[in-house]
A = this chain, B = another copy of it.
Amino acid sequence: MRKNKAYLNCLSRRQAQELWRQSLEESGYFAAPPAEAVAVDAALGRVTAASVYAKNSVPHYNGAAMDGIAVRAADTFGAQETAPRRLTLLSAARPFEPGGCYMVDTGDAMPAGTNAVIMIEDIHIDGAAAEITAAATPWQHVRIIGEDIVAQEMIVPEYHVITPVDIAALLAAGLETIEVVRKPRIAVIPTGDELVATSAELKPGAILDVNSHMLAAAVAAWGGEPVRLPIVRDNGQAIKQTVFASLQTCDMVVINAGTSAGREDYTADVLAELGEVLVHGVAIKPGKPVVLALCQGKPVIGLPGYPVSAMLTAELFVRDALLARQKLPVPEPAPVEAALVKQVASAIGVEEYIRVSLGSIRGKTVAAPQARGAGLISSLTKAQGLIVVDEASTGLAAGAVLPVTPLGRIRAADTILAVGSHDMALDILGVHLRRRSGNLSLACANVGSMGGMMAIRNNEAHIAGIHLLDAATGQYNVSQVEKFLPGGDWLLVHMAMRQQGLIVPAGNPRGITTLADLARPDLVFVNRQRGSGTRMLLDYRLGQAGIDPDAITGYEKEVGTHMAVAASVAAGAADAGLGVQAAALALGLDFIPVAQEQYDLILNFAADDARGQYIIEILRSGEFRREVEALGGYDLEGAGRIIAGGSGKTADRQ
């Protein structure tokens, strides 16, 4: 089986979904799904396999609907204010006799012979008789059999998801068990020579199998019963045997991955041997290497290996088949209109899926694209929405307003978009924001101080963290903000003084002492991206010291956060990088101080937006101060002080 292969076809997403659905439909896969009986009170969330009809009527007897007396209506005809009538009070044990009545409470069964209730307020008890002054109509104040539910009436239709109130109705109607759709069993088979099952087995070049857990959880969330199998190595025969065995016990098989058209990719060949491959290759990004097959009348789906690709293609092809098998509609969350905060390039001929953060800024909903690598699990967890760039488009312009499919439950109005310089204290700010508000969460995009100011200017961010030294004045931030955001409707609020310096391996084995060491030919540096305050600090100090950046090996290697710098050093990928002390401490690295700098936040909220006030309150709180200072290298004296801006709109200037 070792050979170089090609994709069978490369359909558009729409074509692939249509072909997939139609093929499964024609194979009978979506006909009546297998059912099983469950107790009604264990049926919450299950899907009915058939319409359920009442066995009993509810109520099941004629009962008094009021406290009072039960009478035979005919005995009361003619009673009036001017001509009251007396009825004999009978004890419950005595049979009815004409002209008699019984005391009844609400809910009591109507005694035999009676057919109406007269309210307690409308009678006068006089010894052994009840005096009435108005006739009763037959069945007045009687709750009659079947008033709520009549026997044989449909209680819930087929393929209905059982809710708590359905359980009440079904039990009341005399049902004890009902037929529900058996949860489809979905085999999830991780494949790959590079995969290991536990962190303990990880070595360079090995990858922890997290996809099978993610896919199994997704299957459970979509109503299936996942059967996660052990890792299978890249061996056609082993994969074939595992798929074959799974087909005997499961309703669907998901293989991850081996779905490309390379030498070691066996999935498509194996499925062609076991059944029919309908699709191999879909013109989407990420996620092109998808295999859709029908084997023994069951869907078998090969998903690509990168986590973002695997999840996206699972949503497009596994979820749809799984829901349709259970006769459940595919949820179509109403799209949110949002303005894109930055340009997105896209290739012609592929439909591109881009995950975004959403926020509502001064009444405008904006979408900030996440990093796009198919391997970035963090882009999955951080995303709040999905945009689709169609095949004919070369990309989307910054500012374009487009529909965003919301993911999960966080609303745009509940997200604070922090765009700008990265600082570890922002994570802590996010925790406090959520804790204090109950609903708000922070989404961070690390684009550096300058990028943050631009985002504020375009109303694309609520917060921008900045640390920009004005070389002319020696002052931080305020002059830059006033220059780039003149007359703006923002506040500049102090957050922290923080220690920047060289992050070096523990014990400083290369004996680095100053910035000048960075030019040593035996050292590799890791840099921060252009536009970041840390990069500007580096360039400023290199200039002061007369050091040529070209002399620094690794000056071109840019990463986006302090922690990424520290991680590069910790892993031996670099000998030094410039970053905050807290990052060095977090990973147990050494730190050579270079400068203390001022890190402030620009806040961009309308004057009546309580969210801005929340943030200032948190910055000023002792709890926040303690937690941030515990990271190391921070001084939060004066945090929350308003430095500039606001044109007097915010009352509590300190």
Contact = CB atoms under 8 A, between A and B. Distances in A.
Contacts of A430: 154, 157
Query: Considering residues A169, A203, A566, A586, which has the most beta carbons from chain B within 10 angstroms of its beta carbon?
Result: A169
A376 B148 contact: yes
Contacts of A137: 556-557
Given A149-B377, A563-B150, A63 B587 contact: no
A559 B164 contact: no
A205 B109 CA distance: 5
Contacts of A157: 430-431, 434, 441
A438 to B, nearest CB: 6
A618 interface: no
A62 interface: yes
A548 interface: no
A58, A110, A166: which has the most chain B beta carbons within 10 Å? A58
A381 B165 contact: yes
A56 B199 CA distance: 9
Nearest to A376: B148
Chain B CB within 10 Å — which of A55, A56, A213 has the most?
A213
A551 interface: no
A409 interface: yes
A95 interface: no
Contacts of A202: 56, 60
Contacts of A146: 563-564, 567-568, 571
A191 to B, nearest CB: 14
Given A146-B571, A161-B409, A138 B213 contact: no
Contact of A139 (B51, B59, B145, B573): B573
Contacts of A110: 204
A164 B221 contact: yes
B61 A204 contact: yes
Interface of A: 40-41, 44-45, 51, 55-63, 73-74, 107-110, 115, 137-139, 142-159, 161, 163-169, 171-172, 174, 176, 194, 199, 202-205, 207-208, 210-211, 213-218, 220-221, 307, 311, 327, 329, 373, 375-378, 380-381, 408-409, 427, 430-431, 434-435, 438-439, 441, 524, 553-554, 556-557, 559, 561, 563-564, 566-568, 570-571, 573, 586-587
11 contacts: A137-B556, A144-B564, A144-B571, A148-B373, A154-B430, A158-B434, A159-B435, A168-B210, A168-B381, A169-B381, A176-B199
Kindly list the 6 A-B residue pairs having the minimum CB-CB distance in the complex, ordered from nearest: A146-B567, A109-B204, A61-B204, A145-B571, A168-B214, A164-B217
